[in-house]
Structures are given as C-alpha cells and as structure tokens.
Chain A
Amino acid sequence: MKQILINGNPQEIEVGASLLVVLLNNGQPTQRLGVSGANRGGICGMGICFECRVTVDGKVVRACQTGCREGMEVWTDAR
C-alpha cells in the first residue's frame, strides 16, 4: 500500500483510487468550507457540482475527478 497525506496525516491508499471516495471513507463527509464558513461536500461525484474542492499539492481540484498518487498532499480547507 502507498500513502498520501490528508491534512498532514498519513493515509494508506491504492494508487488511482478516487480521492473523494478515500476522503468519504476516512471521516471527511465534507471537504471544504462555504462562504459563510459552513461545511460543504461533494454531491454528484461526477465533476459537475464542484462542491468537493480540495487543495492537492497547492492546487484547488475536484476530489471526485482526482486519482490518488503516492505522496500527494491533500488539504480539506479550500474555500
């Protein structure tokens, strides 16, 4: 098994697994904060709703459209 970092914590993953699925399976039902500070999270799982935005290696991406790569750094504080 390979690892990624989620908010600084190591997490074992399978390379190519959907990052959204990994987050959902690891206690991250929401992945970002809305404009008023409320928790928001992916709804559609297919790249349309843009609600699962996370920061991966410094860039904001949709978790559902991102496959896990070894050593990837993920932060769930994207606004």
Chain B
Amino acid sequence: MDVLVIGAGIVGAACAQELTAAGLSVAVLEKGEPGFGATAAGMGHILVLDDSEAQIKLTAYSRHLWHSFGPSDRTEFRTTGTLWVASNEEMGAIELRRDFYCKYGVDAEVVGQDQLYQLEPALAPGLAGGMRIPSDAVLYPPTATIELLDRAVRSGATYVRSEIKTVGPHSVELMNGQTMEATHVILATGADATKLLPTLPIRKRKGHLAITDRLPQPLIRHQLIETGYLQSAHGSDQASVAFNLQPRSTGQLLIGSSRQFESSPEVELPIVERMLGQAVCYVPALRDCLVTRIWTGFRAATPDGLPLIGPYPEIAGLILATGHEGLGITTSLATAKLVLQHVTGAKAEVDPTPYLPDRLSPAT
C-alpha cells in the first residue's frame, strides 16, 4: 500500500481522490460516515479570505481548483459571489481589503450604498456599502465529500470503516488490534487529530449553524457576511458571533456563525439567540422565517490560523492534513495538491512552506 488516509471528511476525501488519480494505491479509513464531522458543520462557502498572504494564496488557489472541478450535480456548486457588508466606519477598511485582493489577482469590487441595496434589497437600512467578490461560490459539503470519495473509489481506492488506535512509523494500529502498513499515512481527522497526537497545537473551536425551511421566493442572492467577521474569526477567546448568511440551492437559508473554544457538542440556546439576533439585524425579513434545524461542529483551530499540511517531524511517513479551522471546505482541494507534493514531489501551485507543521511548537 502506498498511502493510508485517515478520515473521510472533505479533506481526507480530497486527498484520497488526488493521490489515487496520481496512480498511487490508497486506502481510506473512516470511523463513522464520510463527511459527517466538521464537514457537515461547514457552510460550504468557497471563498478567498485575506487574513494573511499565506491564507489568500491558499484560498485563491483552492477556489480556482473548485471552479475547475468539473460539473457534478452532487456538489451543488453555485457561483453566488460573496458580499461583505459594511457600516460607515467599516468602509475605509473595505478599500484596503479590496486593494489586498487585487494585489493577489483576485477580483474584488467596492460597492456603494445604492448598489448594495440594488444587489440585496433584503438588507437592513443604514448600511454604507461593502465589497463584492464575484467568483466566490457555495456548495453542499457532505455530498461534495461523497463525490470526491466516489471518484477515488472508482479509480481504485479502498474504503475501510474502522477507527484508529495509534499511529506509528509508516503504519497504523486499528481498534481491533490489526496493523496496516503504508509508505505514507495522511492524518485528516480535523480537530480529532489530537486524540492520536496529543501535543498537536490544535484546539476545538465550536460553531453553530441554523437552517430555515424552503422560502417560496429567494430572499438573497450572494453569501452575505458582516465585515466584522474577521474580528470574530481571529479575535479573543470569548464566544463570538458574526452575521453570515447563505442562500442554498434548495431555497433554504443557512445561518451562521458562532465561535467558541468549547468541546461539548450540545446546541447552546444563548449562543443561538445571539447568532440569530445578529442575522435579523442585517436581514430583518429573517424574523418571519422558520428555522427547522440547529446543529454544531468543531473547527480545528491552530494558533496562527493556518492549516497543518506536511510531514509530522516525530513519526516517519506521517503527513498531517488538518488544522483548517473554518476554511477546510474551501481549501480541501489545495490541501490535496500539497499532500501530493509531499508524497510524490509533484509541484503544487503554492509554496508549501507556510503550512508545514514544524513551524509551530507543540502544545503543552
């Protein structure tokens, strides 16, 4: 066996697909169902994000890979664009962000007040404008994961339902005591990676999502995010919420987002109340919508907000593909290209250096 991929979330499935397509023999090990961990709690927003040079390069590359993914009804991929909405005070920062996107070759346009309400009439009055990223998109992560996994299996990958007990040099031990060996082992188990490697600098960052029933008429067209989202995403250790609203192809609205360092999976009504309250502030018509499901998941957060992609220095043959926090759906395909580079040397179109695990010291 050339490669064992541990975890069939969207990152593991993307790695399996990429490695199999390159002609390697691959087995995917999953303890539950494909795509039902953090993948199912991701909004499926395919976006370029500008928190750092390494982040914008990885997300832009991966968004490009999604646009070239090829037609599939199963991914429900739609280019909705992103509209970052801004108050008066936030408009200055918007222009700086636009310049940053343009510097890296990503289309971004500043939108004035009139255009904002033409684009999205459901937005609450009193906003000043925003920034539109026309090539951002949305997809449905659980079925996109199954599509990736099916492509891998059709090309010869094997899928094994099994939980891992330990990882060793070029091998894993399963819960039933069996050992499997491979030249490379890819760890793609999201925030659960610390179960196998307790010193990995990854913390569980819980998120809530809510979804409405199908609206008779579309209320919004773009994925809408408040400009304060980045402060929420990278700010303090306190629980935070930010307005993030996505039109699903079914006519439903997917409502996010919350962030808190917390490891119990329960839905927390005080957080949900804040999250929905924030959404109603930006889109008042949401008040009349029926929320039918609320659920949670865990992002795998790293101290510097960048994923861990590359060799794990202490175990021979082990390659990490985790720590994607809130960007794992977007960056899954680029992660797979980087993993392929670490396995075969085939060059990815981004420099792998900023994502290498050995940049961070172990958690204590």
Q: Are B292 and A50 in contact (CB under 8 A)?
A: yes
- CB contacts (< 8 Å) of B214 on chain A: these are 35, 79
Query: B250 is contacted by which of A35, A53, A60 (Cβ under 8 Å)?
Result: A35
Give Cα A79 to B292, complex, Å. Answer: 12
Give Cα A53 to B335, complex, Å. Answer: 41
Which residue of B has the minimal Cβ distance to A51?
Answer: B292
> In the assembled complex, how far is the CB of residue B211 from the closest CB belonging to chain A, in whole angstroms?
10
Chain B stretch 240-257: residues in CB contact (< 8 A) with chain A: 250-251
**Does B290 lie at the interface of the complex (its beta carbon under 8 Å from any beta carbon of A)?**
yes
Which residue of B has the minimal Cβ distance to A50?
Answer: B292
Give Cα A35 to B214, complex, Å. Answer: 9
- CB contacts (< 8 Å) of A79 on chain B: these are 213-214, 251
Q: Are B250 and A50 in contact (CB under 8 A)?
A: no
Which residue of B has the minimal Cβ distance to A33?
Answer: B214
- CB contacts (< 8 Å) of B251 on chain A: these are 79
**Does B103 lie at the interface of the complex (its beta carbon under 8 Å from any beta carbon of A)?**
no
Give Cα A16 to B292, complex, Å. Answer: 24
Give Cα A53 to B251, complex, Å. Answer: 16
> In the assembled complex, how far is the CB of residue A77 from the closest CB belonging to chain B, in whole angstroms?
12
- CB contacts (< 8 Å) of A50 on chain B: these are 213, 290, 292-293
> In the assembled complex, how far is the CB of residue B62 from the closest CB belonging to chain A, in whole angstroms?
28
Chain A stretch 27-79: residues in CB contact (< 8 A) with chain B: 35, 50, 53, 60, 78-79
- CB contacts (< 8 Å) of B292 on chain A: these are 50, 53
Give Cα A35 to B251, complex, Å. Answer: 10
Give Cα A53 to B292, complex, Å. Answer: 10
Query: 0/1 per residue, B193-215, Cβ < 8 Å to A?
Result: 00000000000000000000110
Give Cα A1 to B80, complex, Å. Answer: 53
Query: 0/1 per residue, B250-294, Cβ < 8 Å to A?
Result: 110000000000000000000000000000000000000010110
Give Cα A35 to B212, complex, Å. Answer: 13
> In the assembled complex, how far is the CB of residue B119 from the closest CB belonging to chain A, in whole angstroms?
27
> In the assembled complex, how far is the CB of residue B210 from the closest CB belonging to chain A, in whole angstroms?
12
> In the assembled complex, how far is the CB of residue B83 from the closest CB belonging to chain A, in whole angstroms?
25
Give Cα A53 to B213, complex, Å. Answer: 9
Give Cα A40 to B361, complex, Å. Answer: 52
Which residue of A has the minimal Cβ distance to B251?
Answer: A79
Chain B stretch 293-309: residues in CB contact (< 8 A) with chain A: 293
Give Cα A60 to B252, complex, Å. Answer: 14
> In the assembled complex, how far is the CB of residue B139 from the closest CB belonging to chain A, in whole angstroms?
16
Which residue of A has the minimal Cβ distance to B290?
Answer: A60
- CB contacts (< 8 Å) of B290 on chain A: these are 50, 53, 60
Give Cα A28 to B32, complex, Å. Answer: 35
Give Cα A36 to B78, complex, Å. Answer: 19
> In the assembled complex, how far is the CB of residue B78 from the closest CB belonging to chain A, in whole angstroms?
15
> In the assembled complex, how far is the CB of residue A67 from the closest CB belonging to chain B, in whole angstroms?
18
> In the assembled complex, how far is the CB of residue B263 from the closest CB belonging to chain A, in whole angstroms?
24
> In the assembled complex, how far is the CB of residue A31 from the closest CB belonging to chain B, in whole angstroms?
13
Give Cα A50 to B251, complex, Å. Answer: 17
> In the assembled complex, how far is the CB of residue A57 from the closest CB belonging to chain B, in whole angstroms?
14
Query: 0/1 per residue, A3-47, Cβ < 8 Å to B?
Result: 000000000000000000000000000000001000000000000
- CB contacts (< 8 Å) of A53 on chain B: these are 213, 290, 292
> In the assembled complex, how far is the CB of residue B294 from the closest CB belonging to chain A, in whole angstroms?
11
> In the assembled complex, how far is the CB of residue A55 from the closest CB belonging to chain B, in whole angstroms?
10
Give Cα A35 to B290, complex, Å. Answer: 16
Give Cα A53 to B252, complex, Å. Answer: 15
- CB contacts (< 8 Å) of A78 on chain B: these are 213
Q: 11 A–B contact pairs at CB < 8 A? A: A35-B214, A35-B250, A50-B213, A50-B290, A50-B292, A50-B293, A53-B213, A53-B290, A60-B290, A79-B214, A79-B251
The 6 closest A-B pairs by CB, nearest first: A50-B292, A79-B214, A35-B250, A60-B290, A60-B213, A53-B213
Apart from A50-B293, A60-B213: 6 A-B pairs, beta carbons within 8 A: A35-B214, A50-B213, A50-B290, A53-B290, A53-B292, A79-B251
